[in-house]
Chains A and B, each alone.
Chain A
Amino acid sequence: MTIIGNILLIISGLFYALGGLGLFRMPDVYNRAQAGTKATTLGTFSALLALCFFFPAWTPKLILLLVFVAITNPIGSSTLLRSAYKSGLKPYSKNDELSVDQYKEVKHDLS
């Protein structure tokens, strides 16, 4: 059990570092938010699962924290990016003819 927990802890730290690296390297607000949010969500999941292997008695509270992170992290980043889109930030694209903006048509239905 301890070996599985240690492996999950290493995976978790690796994904936190990858999230920071994505935030550092990506060219655009949208790409940065996607890389950072997804990687850190997976990092938190595997840290909580590792703690479930170390201390099985703490599982209910850990599951509560896991569900909370799984709900709030995408909601936060999506709200932030919606506000970034409404403020007029353009997505990064090398070739403007190939870029597709499907969100522009649905935008008026929201809020």
Chain B
Amino acid sequence: MINLIFFGLVAIGILLSLYRLIKGPSNYDRIIGLDVINVSIIGVLVVIALITENEFFLDVAIVYGILGFLETIVFAKFLEVRS
């Protein structure tokens, strides 16, 4: 029950970020939406580890966090060089 409430709230957050990702006026808005979705998915992976009682999903969350961070930095540097 608690898990369902949690997933519903995270889904609201991800949908609103997805609106910003699709319709953002500038490219920076799109990257911020992507960043918020990445961090939300870390939380979702942690709660999946809680449901399945499997510690493996925490490793997945760590690697996903590293990849999301690299993605944000690389996009920021790319836009900074290009502009």
Contact = CB atoms under 8 A, between A and B. Distances in A.
Interface of A: 6, 9-10, 12-14, 16-21, 23-24, 29, 32-33, 36-37, 40-41, 43-44, 47-48, 50-51, 54-55, 58, 61-62, 64-65, 68-69, 72-73, 75-77, 79-84, 86-89
Nearest to B33: A23
A47 B46 CA distance: 7
Given A29-B29, A83-B76, A83-B77, A44 B36 contact: no
Contact of B35 (A21, A64, A80): A80
What is the predominant secondary structure among interface residues of chain B facing chain A? Answer: helix
Task: Count chain B CB atoms within 10 A of each CB in A37, A73, A76, A77 and give the residue with the most.
Answer: A76
Contacts of B59: 61
Contact of B32 (A16, A69, A77, A82): A77
A86 B36 CA distance: 22
